[in-house]
Structure 1
Amino acid sequence: MRPDRILAIAFSLCVAWLPGSGAAAEAPADRKAVDAIFDEVFSRYHLPGLALGIVEDGRVVYSRTAGELVEGEGDRIDSKTLFKVASNTKSMTTATLARLVDAGKLRWDDPVTRWIPDFRMHDAWVGREMQVRDLLIHNSGLRAGAGDLMLWPEPNTFTRADIIHGLGYLEPYRSFRSGYDYDNLMYIVAGEVAAAAGGSPYEALVRREVFEPLGMTRCQVGQWSRIEVGNVAQPHRREGGRNVPVRSDGDIIPATTMDPAGGVRCSLDDMLRWTANWLKPDAKNEAWLSQEQRQALWAPQMPMPVSKRMREWDRSHFSAYGYGWRLADVDGVFKVAHTGTLMGMYSAVTMLPDKGAGFVILINGEGEDARTVLTQVLVKRYTSGAPALSVAHYAGLIDKEDAARPVSEQAPDTSRRRRATVKELSPKLGTYRDPWFGEATLCRDSDAVRFRASKSPLLDGVVQRVGKRWLIDWGDPSVDAEAWLDLDGSGMRLAKVDPQADFSYDYEDLAFERVGACP
């Protein structure tokens, strides 16, 4: 029997005796109490917009929104406002695949090459052996976020064909199926598998298989008109003590390469329908997806580390990834959840099936800590026998963690920088090429030296000198992870200046070689 099946059986037996399993919801959606939590999070973290909804026993028992589509412009967020749900798209992609499995068009253990003959990995054996299920559970052996520079920052000109081709050049971090490392690119491949098996482009397929049958009428993916659809929240970043729009949408929202991994936008109402479907499906939703496939999506497939925070905050003993969902125990209660993060947008879907309860959080600003604290306080209202701990309590714990972070995990001080001169970099100027990322130039620009990536126009910045090192200062402030630049022989390497920067800035996977002079 495969190890993942043993894990699934073991966990199902474990859940059977966990305290609280099968208990009815404890009706903690006291409007006044939740309003106070909402208000404190919204105020403490200076959010431009926040939407929160709670489902109990298949019913929406709480729904509230605050803030603006664009801070300062007066257009209020409501329950129909569209937010980027980011990686909460992944569970919609796996639901689409599950529908195809139900229809007999696909099997979870199909080789990926059955549907994408050109699919390759750095190790040819891995490419041949990888199954559809492997695309969904972050076990590829690649470093977390490997190749994500083909997805972000947007806009860029990488295609899904580029990603499938580029995977063959990304060197593994560990052996195949030996551990968990978060992987967006495999979900792009999964979307193409779904398209091949379902006979329609991914965007049309997820509309047909998920949005339409579940009545998620506002959800959007692919190309659409912001003007015609209307009521679309814009992402923000914090600058000078205020929220500033970042990467704002044009009139037409284009289809993007990363749609199957994180390209869906939905409203709070839509996401509450999505949540209710999993917790207490009605007859129509039961017909939408079989019980067998519902169980498959929530079965532990890949063990995940149980963090110090999970042990101390939640008394967790177990953590695993299913098909597009994270699974864990909190105070002996089974939790199914996922988060979504894109520049200036944060989402969370959290479900406690034993309690018949779940909730949705949507934020259009820098809301990582806000999302964590709000999720934690709400979860504890259902799982903890003691009085629920406060927003201030969990916010304080996060502040203490940040203060205790080792120097090696903190961003270095780069304030004493100066612009690099053409003369000192003259021997290294030229055109460089990485086998999966493509070409970049390191060339003179007036009296400065500028790095430009040919397929990713936002990765364009002036080289700085910081002590004995070179640093690229990106021109667009939305690219919020500066890069060290190391030049050795005929090669060029990049690395994150801040070790805590988003792993999707996977500079460390680049290996540029000089291929010619500056154009």
Structure 2
Amino acid sequence: MQKLFTSRSTRSVVLFLLIGFGISYLSAKDSNTISGHWEGQIELPGQTLGINIDFFVNEENILSGDISIPLQGAKDLPLSEISLTGKKIRFKLPGVPGNAAFTGEISEDGRQISGTFHQSGQDFAFQIRRAVSKAAKVKGTLQGFDAFVSQAITDWQVPGLAMAVVCGDEVVFKQGFGFRDMEKKLPVTPKTLFAIGSSTKAFTTFVLGTLVDEGKLDWDKPLRNYLPDFELKDPFISQRITPRDLVTHRSGLPRHDMLWYNNHKLTRKEIVRRLRYLDANADLRAKYQYNNLMFLTAGYLTEQLTGQNWENAVRQRIFKPLEMTSSNFSVRQSQQSVDFALPYTEEENQLKQIPFRQIDLIGPAGSINSNVEDMSHWLMVHLNNGTYKNKTIINSATLADIHTPYMTTGATAKHPEISQPDYALGWFSDTYRGHKRLHHGGNIDGFTALVTLFPNDGIGQVVLVNKSGAELPEILTRHATDRILELEPINWNSEGLERRKKGKEADKEAKATKSMARKKGTKPAHCLDEYAGDYEHPGYGTLSVRKVKDHLEFTFNDITTPLEHWHYEIFNALKGTDDAFENMKLQFRTDLKGNVAAVEVPFEPAVDNIVFTKQPAAKLFDARYLKQFVGEYDLAGRAIRIDLAGNILKLIVPGQPPYTLVPALGDEFVLKEYSTVSIRFSLDKNGNVQALLLRQPDGMVTARKKNE
């Protein structure tokens, strides 16, 4: 039951509205008299209660209707026992105590119904007037909007764009602009697929919300209740962190995006396991820090609770019931469609097509691809308290919780008409010119998306663009909103273009002055060959450095980037085929023995540089290579021996336990039992083993190999 009015003690009425249906058969003339949208109010003591009533007449002249009461959040509640006799009309609210009913009379011009609302012996005047439906009004405000969009995509150098606007459960605007493929001049349509990037996050929280409805998840219980092995570097945070913390960006962990970016080798389970090796920079819930890895973890949580992968959970719990038939989870799938947008970026004021970026691994944070036709259904379920076509997809209370902000971002307001944003569960929350707004953008290589809800106004918008980092979705959304809500116009487009112009000037200056921070006249401490090798970090994995002709290049997550010497032991990343690391600085470290031992990379600027430790040469783990060192050696008249156990060398000294030789840098081995003692083998010009050199803190001695 749903309580809509205040109690009798305040001389008002209590209505408990239950679903019921009533039909009436009308003549064609009567149908024209009553069908349509009506708006008005019930005059309660000390209160005017707004109501909206819709009467529907089908092809068989059967009359039905529903009532909405915006102040109470009641929407489309069905009416019963509707009767129309001449100008007299009567209808009831089914299941309401006190036989709640309306009786009224239609005015001579047919534009007004006045009468009495009855309940429990009390009578209150009501009046409703024929009105244009809200959806029709909104549609009317967008007349000429398409021309504005067409000009804007030229102003902003955007290849193509699709946009949809929803009012309640009706699509009032849906159109494509520009090109999904510039070379072939293929137009964008409402069915054109775009990557929606981080707008995916709300899908992940929605799926988790359905698990809350099923009693399988509690947002505020420790995550370890569901993932017992979950571990971050800080054991205290590991114990306290909850599912809600994962999806509100308050874990204490900064982004660490380079762990997943372009990573096609790890699984989500393996990524979650590596979180324990990543540095945090804040306590739990102390600071807002946007974090895709936490949303990946939320997706992994979904997988553990449902027994299916995240993709299938979204497909079954969202795509299927919302009839999102074109949406998918990988740009590889999009490219198999007959209608998909190519990705573009802007370089030197020119649009350039770029490769698709496959981000399947980070799926729960950003891999969904969709079109505005499908996304309009997504808007509807949020605007209709979790229902779609009269079917409940998620409980309204759960959806309201998802829409509730739980973490302040700490950001300042960018405009006096827009409040500073907070973060809900997969949504940013703020007020736009006095209206509550929920929104989330999405940015991935070659695509920009923006999904926006005005829940109290029943309005939703989605804008999809095939260009990296485009500001246009926000401009169009604001412009459309001002029209729809009949607000005083602000020239968001001119403001944005001016901001863009200044940004380009700043970028030009930064590029021209980049080398000013470079110390001239320096050179590397080592020859380039010595920097080459594989470097490891327990969280980030492997970074490989190779010498190619006269320069170095590094490879991380399958992205190979050329390097130039910058100054001292610092090298600068140049633009490669994939420019992800352009202008990043790598700093090499030398150990006490003079070996290049590590490289620092600023993969996460919010913490200290990520340190990758250089690994010994792979040959030192190869039994075939190590076999040549096996044999007896003469150490100052004393026989010692090198044996091979699998792919591990052992030092045998008579009267002492065997020592294990651990591969180290510089083709050396250190004794596992005495890390200050190392061994290096000496070869002659023909590559034959001559001796081993035993290095100790007080010096080095030579043991010559005996002929066998």
TM-score normalized with structure 2 length: 0.62
- Stretches of structure 2 lacking an aligned partner (at least 5 in a row): 1-69, 74-133, 591-596, 620-708
Aligned partner of 2:188 among 77, 85, 95 = 77
In the alignment, residue 545 of structure 2 is paired with which amino acid? L
Matching of residues 19-418 of structure 1 within 5 Å: 27=138, 30-143=141-254, 145-146=255-256, 148-152=257-261, 154=262, 156-221=264-329, 225-226=333-334, 228-239=336-347, 241-248=349-356, 256-280=360-384, 284=389, 287-310=392-415, 312=416, 314-316=417-419, 318-382=420-484, 385-400=487-502, 412-414=513-515
Q: Distance in 2 between matches of 1:35 and 1:367?
A: 22
Deviation digits for residues 59-100 of structure 1, max 9, x if unmatched? 111111122232212322211111111111110111111111
Q: Distance in 2 between matches of 1:224 and 1:476?
A: 20
Alignment partner, residue 499 of structure 1:
none
Alignment partner, residue 449 of structure 1:
552
Q: Distance in 2 between matches of 1:342 and 1:32?
A: 32
In the alignment, residue 230 of structure 2 is paired with which amino acid? F
Q: How many positions carry a matched residue from both structures?
A: 478
Q: Is residue 40–residue 391 contact of structure 1 (8 Å, CA) maintained in 2?
A: no
Percent pairwise identity: 24
Greater C-alpha Rg: 2
Q: Is residue 247–residue 478 contact of structure 1 (8 Å, CA) maintained in 2?
A: no
Aligned partner of 2:611 among 511, 515, 518 = 511
Alignment CA distance shift 1:132-1:121 (3 Å): same
1:357: Cα distance to partner? 1.2
Q: Distance in 2 between matches of 1:414 and 1:156?
A: 34
1:225: Cα distance to partner? 4.3
Q: Is the strand fraction higher in 1 or 2?
A: 2
Q: Distance in 2 between matches of 1:59 and 1:480?
A: 45
1:403: Cα distance to partner? 5.7
Alignment CA distance shift 1:437-1:412 (3 Å): farther
Alignment partner, residue 62 of structure 2:
none
Alignment partner, residue 16 of structure 1:
none
Mean CA deviation greater in 475-484 or 206-215? 475-484
Matching of residues 419-438 of structure 1 within 5 Å: 424-438=527-541
In the alignment, residue 281 of structure 2 is paired with which amino acid? Y
Alignment partner, residue 564 of structure 2:
464
Alignment CA distance shift 1:203-1:463 (3 Å): same
- Stretches of structure 1 lacking an aligned partner (at least 5 in a row): 1-20, 497-502
Deviation digits for residues 172-228 of structure 1, max 9, x if unmatched? 111111010000001111111111111211111100000001111111126964565
3-state SS of paired residue (1:354): coil
Alignment partner, residue 659 of structure 2:
none
Q: Is residue 81–residue 267 contact of structure 1 (8 Å, CA) maintained in 2?
A: yes
Deviation digits for residues 454-484 of structure 1, max 9, x if unmatched? xx111x1121134564201242244264311
Q: Is the helix fraction higher in 1 or 2?
A: 1
3-state SS of paired residue (2:186): coil
Deviation digits for residues 315-343 of structure 1, max 9, x if unmatched? 41x52111111100122210000000001
1:289: Cα distance to partner? 0.9
Q: Distance in 2 between matches of 1:279 and 1:411?
A: 49
Aligned partner of 2:587 among 483, 486, 489 = 486
Q: Is residue 461–residue 475 contact of structure 1 (8 Å, CA) maintained in 2?
A: yes
Alignment CA distance shift 1:160-1:48 (3 Å): same
In the alignment, residue 262 of structure 1 is paired with which amino acid? G
Q: Distance in 1 between matches of 2:580 and 2:508?
A: 25
Alignment partner, residue 687 of structure 2:
none
Q: Is residue 381–residue 388 contact of structure 2 (8 Å, CA) maintained in 1?
A: no
Alignment partner, residue 698 of structure 2:
none
Q: Is residue 561–residue 579 contact of structure 2 (8 Å, CA) maintained in 1?
A: no
3-state SS of paired residue (2:271): helix
Deviation digits for residues 150-178 of structure 1, max 9, x if unmatched? 221x3532321221121101111111110
Calculate the aligned-residue CA RMSD, in Å. 3.2
Alignment CA distance shift 1:303-1:226 (3 Å): closer
Q: Is residue 281–residue 607 contact of structure 2 (8 Å, CA) maintained in 1?
A: no
3-state SS of paired residue (1:27): helix
Alignment CA distance shift 1:149-1:227 (3 Å): closer
Q: Is residue 142–residue 483 contact of structure 2 (8 Å, CA) maintained in 1?
A: no
Q: Distance in 1 between matches of 2:185 and 2:608?
A: 42
1:241: Cα distance to partner? 4.2
3-state SS of paired residue (1:337): strand
In the alignment, residue 215 of structure 1 is paired with which amino acid? E
1:511: Cα distance to partner? 1.6
Q: Is residue 327–residue 336 contact of structure 1 (8 Å, CA) maintained in 2?
A: yes
Compare relative contact order (CA 8 Å, sep 6+) and give the higher one, 1 or 2: 1
In the alignment, residue 352 of structure 1 is paired with which amino acid? F
Q: Distance in 1 between matches of 2:390 and 2:211?
A: 16
Alignment CA distance shift 1:410-1:92 (3 Å): farther
Alignment CA distance shift 1:302-1:309 (3 Å): same
Q: Is residue 29–residue 62 contact of structure 1 (8 Å, CA) maintained in 2?
A: no
Q: Is residue 418–residue 430 contact of structure 2 (8 Å, CA) maintained in 1?
A: no
Alignment CA distance shift 1:392-1:255 (3 Å): closer
Alignment CA distance shift 1:110-1:230 (3 Å): farther
Deviation digits for residues 110-158 of structure 1, max 9, x if unmatched? 3222322221001012112111111100001112x22x11221x35323
Q: Distance in 2 between matches of 1:463 and 1:106?
A: 48
Alignment CA distance shift 1:44-1:445 (3 Å): same
